[in-house]
Chains A and B, each alone.
Chain A
Amino acid sequence: MRRLPYLALGIFAVQAPDSRPDSVTIESGTLRAAFDKLLPMTGRIALLLPEADRKLDGVSFKSEMPYVVPRTDAKKMLEQLLLTQGLALLPEVDGLYSTLCSLAATLNDPHTRSHIQTVEPSEIPASRNLNVPLALAVPLAHADASVVVESLRPRRGELQWEALGCTASAGPSYVIVICPGPALSVALEKVHRLDEEADLAAGKTIEDLRARVAALEAKLAEKPGTKPGR
């Protein structure tokens, strides 16, 4: 019984009230206004690098009407807003804080490059909304890797390829793609489609070649005294 007050104190400490509001209202304005409202809702602390900090003030967005973002959606909303501007909150020291920086520097800046997370194909669905640079080696069964890399390039504009720090390189039987989660999903779909097309093309090639063999063998068989065999 004498321990009860201590126990009560312990429970009180664990259940400290959360001072964050249940929702915030986002209106048209600068990206900073939205950032300043949404970030505290996520419970994260950000380190603002000068270039990214300036971008928060320099970019504004319009919303037809104010909309309410519940706390549960604040993280997703914030990451989407940042991604549209090629920015990302990169987690540091196991999520102790996050650095706001430009994704365009993914490969050129050793710090941003160090935040590339390698994912496996099975992890793609879970990382679809992850706004951090992700690296994936996609095995190719049929398509030529250099052709796949070339065909990813024309979509730069569509994917904001460079602004989002995306890149692709060819290996012997794979391509390595680096993109933030949402762009990586799009790139991956394209790679798979190209590989399937190459598979179909290979199937068609085999059919054509078999037909050609059959035709040649038939031609040889027409001649008396010849056998179409080996």
Chain B
Amino acid sequence: MKFSRSAAVAFTCALAFPQAARLLFQAASRAERSDFVLVSSGVDSRTVLAVISELARAADRRVSIGANESRKLEVQKVVLTGPLKVPASKIESALESIAFTYGFIFLPPESEDLPWTLVDLEGFDRNQIRTRARLISVEEIDAYASRYVMVSVVLKLQRVDALKVSASLRPFFPESGLERVIAIPTSNSLQISAVGPTVAALTKLVRGIDREPTAVDEKAEARKKEIADLKARIAALEKRLEAQAGKPK
């Protein structure tokens, strides 16, 4: 049953990408899933493609890789300083992390029967990355904090202006790329679209900015107000003096 379903998927991929000769890694059955030891060091270092395909099998994940991506992954090598033992529970995270390190990201399947798609962050299919981002709630951010998949979250701000906050975060995304922060003025919210760890870090940063005013803030506000009041008083006094000077004795 499983075989026939996978064959159908492979066939679908071949239909969808007739010229791309996509690779499809067949996942291992869940019963076979166990800790995985990755050896890739020195002269024995393996290509990124080989490492990703091994990890994908161990992670029980079917992956579709286009011809262009495949060529790029075959050129680069994964060099580790020693054998890496990956616990079964962390194989998926390790797979996504290694792919992202080399400039690739996994797009989740659009339906359960389809494989995950590995996309080059700088390739032709990069537009898909943001459009297929998972929309997550604020409560789900921690669950994605170590997952290299594209997610999008909307944060409502309580005390600070979303437009000003988004402007202050802009320098952190110098390339006009996939990850970004957009202000939604109507609801004073920020939409953050990035990979899980970046979203988690930015959320913590924004929460730190969107805080209750402290005693120092209140003192500073009081000082600003006093300076403004004194300046207004000086202007009024000067006006009176001028008026008085103009009066005939």
Contact = CB atoms under 8 A, between A and B. Distances in A.
Interface string B82-109: 1110110010011001101101000000
A209 B169 CA distance: 37
* Contact residues on B (Cβ < 8 Å of other chain), bracket: 35 or more
B94 A96 contact: yes
Interface string B224-235: 101100110110
Given A172-B164, A202-B224, 17 more contacts: A40-B81, A93-B94, A94-B146, A107-B172, A114-B194, A116-B198, A137-B209, A141-B220, A142-B220, A167-B172, A169-B168, A169-B171, A202-B220, A206-B227, A209-B234, A216-B241, A223-B244
Q: What is the predominant secondary structure among interface residues of chain B facing chain A?
A: helix
B72 interface: no
A213 interface: yes
B100 A114 contact: yes
B101 A49 contact: yes
Contact of A174 (B209, B220, B236): B209
Contacts of A49: 101
Contact of B234 (A116, A213, A228): A213
A219 B241 contact: yes
A155 interface: no
Contact of A167 (B84, B164, B171, B204): B171
A217 B237 contact: yes
B175 interface: yes
Nearest to A135: B205
Interface string B189-222: 0000011011001101100110100101101100
Contact of B80 (A45, A94, A216): A45
Contacts of B230: 206, 209-210, 212-213
A212 B234 contact: yes
A116 B203 CA distance: 12
A27 to B, nearest CB: 20
Contacts of A110: 100, 121, 177-179, 194-195, 198
A135 B169 CA distance: 11
B223 interface: yes
Contacts of A186: none
B168 A171 contact: yes
A114 B195 contact: yes
Interface in B149-166: 160-161, 164-165
A93 B223 CA distance: 48
